[in-house]
Structure 1
Amino acid sequence: MASRDSITEIHIKPLLNIHANYASIMPFGFIRDLSHPIIQYNSKRQWFGETKAGVKHYIHALKTNGIHIMIKPQIWVWKGEFTGDITMKTEADWKAFENSYTQFILDYAEVAQEIGADIFCIGTELEHFIEARPNYWKELIKKIRQVYKGKLTYAANWNEYNQTPFWNKLDYIGIDAYFPVSDLKTPTVEACKLGLGRWKTEMKHTCDSLKKPVLFTEFGYRSVDFSGKKPWLTDRQMGTVNLQAQTNATQAFFETFWNEDWIAGGFIWKWHHNHKTAGGNNNTRFTPQNKPAEQVIKDFYSKK
């Protein structure tokens, strides 16, 4: 949740209506390309909700209405290139990038402590950065712990989490759960549950070995044909609306995971602040708003 505007109770009421008790607030930092070492953030050119002032405003409004908070700072690479491929070309650039990332994360860790956020996410889908600089991450977690006293997680991509080396330093195994589950044009609930079974077994094994609960830092499906085949795709050429595909995949996800005691919960991708104009029956994007999938989420959230 982050937008160009401030929010009021009008924007929060739809969250309460689906029985949500947590929201993920995502301030963004930007880099020019996958090897650019300087993160630009908290800029006047950014949307209000992506800045420190906006984050504080959002959280105050949400907490006033009884909603708990995860702050999840994220990097956006120009042209939407995948953050997991971020790799510096020289040692000097790696050092500059580490310094820039540390400043970015610690600034928002201080905000998280100041406003009493319940969870702080230390990064999102940064596989190559972690693989190349593991010692940096261990030291970064120490620095964050000195600033922020709440729960910590990291948002690992679905095919990255079982190689992430520092789960023992965090409170939750964070997973962006875009697992491929079905090749069907309109996947059935049973087909998606069958497809999720493999991933559920692997996650449970990781959970048991680390003795940490799993938190789905992102999960969701687009309302398009083949929504369960490669759920991470954001390609706008996938333009055929399929509300049933989204509904079935969402139903299967909840039926597979929601009653498991090793699952701490999850954050729907993606919820827009202006519910009245978001989503709808002609929308192909991830949001479940004003689509049949919203009722599925409401039903399951009401039982938790």
Structure 2
Amino acid sequence: MMFVKGMTYGWNSRRGAYRQPYATESLRKLKETGSEWIALSFYTHQANVYATDIPFDYGYTMTDRDIEHAVKEAKALGLRVCLKPVVNSADGIWRAHIGFPEEAGAEPYWDAWFRSYTNFLAHYAELAEELACDMFCIGCEMVKTESKADHWIALIDRVRELYSGPIVYNANHGSEERIKWFDSVDYIGTSAYYPVAKQPGDGEEAMIANWLPVREKMAALHAKFKKPIIFMEIGCRSAHGCATMPWDFTHTELPFSEEEQANFYSSVMKVFWEETWFAGFFWWDWSVKLYEREAAGSNVGFDIYGKKAERIVKEWYAKPKTMQGAL
């Protein structure tokens, strides 16, 4: 079993950004955290959550040339790559709501959407194979679609025809236990934005206590499917109160707090690191264009560059992972 010491890289970047000098410098600084992996995450848009067609947006979507450049730059630095294509909804509604009513008349819409989504993924599965990517993510937080087990199993079969490496699906925290087709993937992934702080400013011990029941749930999920668990997304912003809502990116008025972010990082490392079924982290996230290091003390985003959480990652990623008893 692999153990992922990783970061998400590339999210919310416009086409061409991966090929800029600042992107190369950002990757180098990411490598200096001790990270061994990146999840190269990019997206295209479907028109709205009820659309059945996933087009290539020629004004926005990363080109294959962009992706090839980023993968080769990462590999030149010794980083392994999980290719993570994502579909968002152009109406601004969270992708978890992409889907159709649960009624017989909706089946043709489900069939049409999965045809388009399978074609979308097949394109990137081919690219992942050509570029020797080390893992391929087949979806991210597609909550409303997850009950369509037959569609997902057929999609996975198609991806495996094109891509020979390990496959992961990125569920959202809280939806993992409802997915019945996890036996078809190689790794179970989740966006682990669990609200482990009960109030702003909670310390590491309080967060550890709230991670423990999450660990029990993840252990049970592993026991059910016999698949390793990866936190495909995890993190929180360096702002006061963000550990109570780690997924939040909207409350930009909250005051800077690198301590709360650092406690979130250190607490989950302590709780999960030595679990033999646990396969690692892709922290959210590392920007393609970083702020100046002097600005770290006022940056309230997810990035950890120049913050206390970066030092914590470096310390933990320098440690070996005990794999005794691992699958």
TM over 0.5: yes
Structure 1 position 254 matched with structure 2 position 273: no
Which runs of structure 2 are paired with 1:249-288 in the superposition (5 Å)? 249-277=264-292, 280-288=296-304
What TM-score do the two structures reach when normalised by structure 2?
0.87
2:58 to 23, 39, 44: 44
Contact 1:7 1:61 survives alignment (8 Å): no
1:136 matched residue in structure 2: 151
Uncovered stretches (5+) of structure 1, i.e. residues with no partner = none
Secondary structure class of the residue paired with 2:201: coil
The Cα shift of 1:35 comes to: 1.0
Contact 1:72 1:122 survives alignment (8 Å): yes
Segment of structure 1 superposing worse, 262-271 or 30-39: 30-39
Could you report, residue by residue, the CA deviation over 1:64-116 in whole angstroms, capped at 9, with x for unpaired residues?
11100101111122253221111236433323211211111110000111111
For 1:227 and 1:196, the matched residues in 2 are separated by: 16
For 1:95 and 1:224, the matched residues in 2 are separated by: 43
For 2:169 and 2:76, the matched residues in 1 are separated by: 26
Between the two proteins, the alignment pairs up a number of residues equal to: 300
Contact 1:182 1:195 survives alignment (8 Å): yes
Structure 1 position 195 matched with structure 2 position 220: no
- What CA RMSD, in Å, does the superposition of the two structures yield over aligned residues? 1.7
Contact 1:24 1:70 survives alignment (8 Å): yes
1:78 matched residue in structure 2: 90
2:35 matched residue in structure 1: 20
The Cα shift of 1:170 comes to: 0.8
For 2:95 and 2:30, the matched residues in 1 are separated by: 29
1:297 matched residue in structure 2: 313
Uncovered stretches (5+) of structure 2, i.e. residues with no partner = 1-8, 321-327
Could you report, residue by residue, the CA deviation over 1:139-177 in whole angstroms, capped at 9, with x for unpaired residues?
001111111000001000011111111111111111110
- Which structure's relative contact order is higher, taking Cα pairs within 8 Å and 6+ residues apart? 2
Paired amino acid for 2:77: N
For 1:180 and 1:112, the matched residues in 2 are separated by: 34
1:213 matched residue in structure 2: 228
Contact 2:49 2:91 survives alignment (8 Å): no
Over 3 Å counting, the alpha-carbon distance change for 1:166 and 1:58 in structure 2 is: same
For 2:174 and 2:63, the matched residues in 1 are separated by: 30
What TM-score do the two structures reach when normalised by structure 1?
0.93
Could you report, residue by residue, the CA deviation over 1:220-257 in whole angstroms, capped at 9, with x for unpaired residues?
01112222212122223553222111111111111111
Which runs of structure 2 are paired with 1:103-114 in the superposition (5 Å)? 103-114=119-130
For 1:39 and 1:240, the matched residues in 2 are separated by: 39
Segment of structure 1 superposing worse, 236-245 or 18-27: 236-245
For 2:222 and 2:160, the matched residues in 1 are separated by: 22
Which runs of structure 2 are paired with 1:152-167 in the superposition (5 Å)? 152-167=167-182
For 1:221 and 1:258, the matched residues in 2 are separated by: 18
Over 3 Å counting, the alpha-carbon distance change for 1:238 and 1:193 in structure 2 is: farther
For 2:202 and 2:213, the matched residues in 1 are separated by: 17
Paired amino acid for 1:284: V
Could you report, residue by residue, the CA deviation over 1:165-223 in whole angstroms, capped at 9, with x for unpaired residues?
11111111111101121112112010110010110011011112221111111110111
Paired amino acid for 2:267: A
For 1:277 and 1:141, the matched residues in 2 are separated by: 42
Contact 2:252 2:300 survives alignment (8 Å): no
The Cα shift of 1:125 comes to: 0.4
For 1:185 and 1:79, the matched residues in 2 are separated by: 32
Percent of pairs identical after alignment?
A: 26
Runs of 4+ in 1 over 6 A off after TM superposition: none
For 1:130 and 1:39, the matched residues in 2 are separated by: 18
1:97 matched residue in structure 2: 113
